[in-house]
């Protein structure tokens, strides 16, 4: 089966510009996650969707970050305006099950590497 | 708030040597613990998942142990190969809110 797809793979922008990332999860996976991984750190959850509804966005900086998952399939993550500290790898992951306490593993995409100058 | 620590941050060993990677966490109320592998420029790949009721999990040359009461897990990789060179991350799922908390990872280099 095809894995989680993300695009673009790399993006360089100047601070105060806008940027958008796209994720296509594994077919049939109901739950989708966006993570931010700063160099030298582990991934940090930004937002979790279940189908097209938001389950958790407590760590999403809502003044500049937004995300949507229309029709419960693809998702986009947007940053507007970008700051220097947003330089990181943005990872998308998906899981099949919808139960939050499930033992299922998350399948990760290759990530989008963002550099803000 | 769950804090996950991985020591050492980097490790270099000759081929054939056994690898021991450590992970510690501050809150023992966990649902499960996972070990992931991350290659440069790629996403994370799940290696092993240990449920909170389990003590260890094995897959091929990999063995992971879990001591929930002391907040520790260890990943053993037997007879290391250059292809094992990667960053290994530990992630803990909270039993309260089911969120994953990741460590910063241990970057392993296996020298041929």
Tokens at residue A96, please? 């099949």
DSSP states along A20-54: EEEEE--TT--EEEEEEE-TTS--EEEEEEETTEE
Chain B residues lying within 8 Å of A93, measured CB to CB: 43-44
Contact B102 A42 (CB under 8 A): yes
Contact B43 A101 (CB under 8 A): no
Q: What is the pLDDT along chain B (112 residues), one digit of tens a residue?
A: 899 999 999 999 999 999 999 999 999 999 999 999 999 888 899 999 999 999 999 999 999 999 999 999 999 999 999 999 999 999 999 988 888 899 999 999 999 9
pLDDT in tens, A40-77: 999 999 999 998 899 999 999 999 999 999 888 999 99
DSSP states along B29-96: -EEEEEEEEE-TTS-EEEEEEEETT-SEEEETTEEEEEETTTTEEEEEESS--GGG-EEEEEEEEETT
What distance, in Å, lies between the first and last C-alpha atoms of chain A? 37
Integer Cα distance of A107 and A93 in angstroms: 5
Contact B42 A110 (CB under 8 A): yes
Integer Cα distance of A52 and A76 in angstroms: 12
Whether A19 has its CB under 8 Å from any CB of chain B: the answer is: no
Whether A2 has its CB under 8 Å from any CB of chain B: the answer is: no
- For B82, list phi and psi in degrees, rounded to 5: -55, -30
Integer Cα distance of B34 and A116 in angstroms: 31
Distance from the A55 Cα atom to the nearest Cα atom in chain B, whole angstroms: 11
């Amino acid at each position: 089966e095809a894995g989680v797809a993300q695009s673009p793979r790399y993006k360089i922008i100047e601070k105060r510009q806008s940027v958008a990332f796209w994720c296509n999860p594994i077919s049939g996976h109901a739950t989708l996650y966006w993570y931010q991984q700063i160099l030298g750190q582990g991934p940090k959850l930004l937002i979790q969707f279940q189908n097209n509804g938001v389950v958790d966005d407590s760590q999403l900086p809502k003044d500049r970050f937004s995300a949507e998952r229309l029709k419960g399939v693809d998702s986009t993550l947007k940053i507007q305006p970008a700051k220097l500290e947003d330089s990181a790898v943005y990872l998308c992951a998906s899981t099949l099950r919808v139960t939050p306490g499930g033992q299922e593993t998350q399948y990760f995409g290759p990530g989008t590497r963002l550099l803000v100058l | 708030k769950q804090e996950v620590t991985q020591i050492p941050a980097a490790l270099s060993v000759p081929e054939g040597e056994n690898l021991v990677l450590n992970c510690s966490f501050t809150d023992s109320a966990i649902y499960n613990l996972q070990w992931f592998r991350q290659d440069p420029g790629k996403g994370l790949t799940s290696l092993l998942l240990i449920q909170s009721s389990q003590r260890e999990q094995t897959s091929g040359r990999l063995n992971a142990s879990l001591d929930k009461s002391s907040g520790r897990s260890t990943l053993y990789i037997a007879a290391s190969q250059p292809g094992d060179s990667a960053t290994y991350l530990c992630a803990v799922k909270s039993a309260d809110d089911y969120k994953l908390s990741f460590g910063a990872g241990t970057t392993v280099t296996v020298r041929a």
